[in-house]
Amino acid sequence: MHTSRKAAISFIFVTLLIDIMGWGLIIPVMADLIAQLKHIPVNQASTYGALLLSVFASTQFLFAPVIGNLSDKFGRRPVLLLSLFGFGIDYIILALAPAYGWLFLGRVIAGVTGASFTTATAYIADVSTDETSRAKNFGLIGAAFGLGFVLGPALGALLANWGIRAPFYAAATLCLLNCLYGYFFLPESLSKENRRPFEWRRANPFGSLKFLTRHPEIGGLAFSFFLIYLGAQAVQGNWNFFTIYRFNWTDKMVGISLAVVGVLVGAVQAGLTRVINPKIGNEKSIYLGLSLYTLGLVLFAFATQGWMMFAFLIPYCLGGICGPSLQSVISGHVPPNQQGELQGALTSLMSLTTIIGPLIMNSTFAYFTSESAPFHFPGVHFLIGAVCMLFSIIITNKVLNREKKERPELLDVIKGGESVGSSAMH
């Protein structure tokens, strides 16, 4: 039984790794593929790239709770295998796509079936025997994310040498091979007596957002949280289009740069945050992180040489120290038995920024690099992101200063320190 459980956890780790790697594999070539299929310059293709990101995020936002509820009724195994198969089909469609509309179809399929993260975490909870093993097993999720963000773009950059479609075939092969392996070797984790009927009211994707309306005291901080992830879409949704247009980067160079991002983010999240936050506390970590985010985005906006983007990634990625601290402060506002609902609400906010963020950032970039723009400014979307971060600083400062006066019982949570800081990542 122990061997079977260990093999299942290994499968889940590989599944999450492939999930993250799959998108990282295709990012380096996606900009050029869209431009090629639409017969337009890469800067104008960014708008169509935003639509692909948005439709994937939208369908995932709508269907993730549905898929999660289906896994409670039918078990984790069939849902996980369906998800992997759906991603495999998606990548095959992207690889063979003769027109842009096929890319759109592929992303819809991936969004519908792309609940592997939610179901995988449920699987981990099912097979974990105690709190210690649960914490250890959930730690694999962070490891898979970190490793996937490094390996995916790096491998995509390497495969781009064999053609613009090669990364798609590689991603499809990984997904389908893992699906085949899981079909023969993955056991079901949810016993039949623990299953429950499917209920549509539980599958409402907007249900988790209602939690915020019941807790107006965290509204300001939640809005600040939303602005941070919205501003980050200036980088996440448009990095490949901007660097190819502005600095004539190759697909290989885009992949290398994203691998560097993965290394820096991993170093900040896994190491630096655990050192800085206990020393300076939550509040100062939030302000420092947001200031670094703002600085990094402004520097991106005015970069004139490709090497500058690598240098400016350092302050930008260091800004990641603010996220765990802000989440820790927000978590301190609600009781322990509502933490799950709170995290679900914050995840929904993040999903909404992925839906609307690329549309805002990429469309602005496309407009200010077109002939109809009043002036030429490729980095304008980075400034929009910087403004989002700046407003987040102002809102957070206003909320926390008010609460330090009106709610002294939250002072320890706001200030943070050794005890609070060490729990901010959990």
Structural domains in the chain? 1-186 (1.20.1250.20), 206-426 (1.20.1250.20)
pLDDT for 422 equals: 34
pTM confidence score = 0.82
How would you write 247-293 as a 3-class SS string?
A: HCCCHHHHHHHHHHHHHHHHHHHHHHHHHHHHHHHHHHHHHHHHHHH
| Per-residue pLDDT reduced to its tens digit, 296-320 | 999 999 999 999 999 999 999 999 8
Q: How confident is the model at residue 424 (pLDDT cuts 50, 70, 90)?
A: very low
Could you give the dihedral angle defined by the CA atoms of residues 78, 84, 87 and 88, in that order, rounded to the nearest 10 degrees? -110
Number of residues that make up the chain = 426
CA–CA dist 117, 164 (Å, integer): 28
| Per-residue pLDDT reduced to its tens digit, 125-179 | 777 665 555 656 666 666 777 788 888 888 888 888 898 899 999 989 988 988 8
pLDDT for 408 equals: 67
At residue 413, does pLDDT exceed 70?
Answer: no
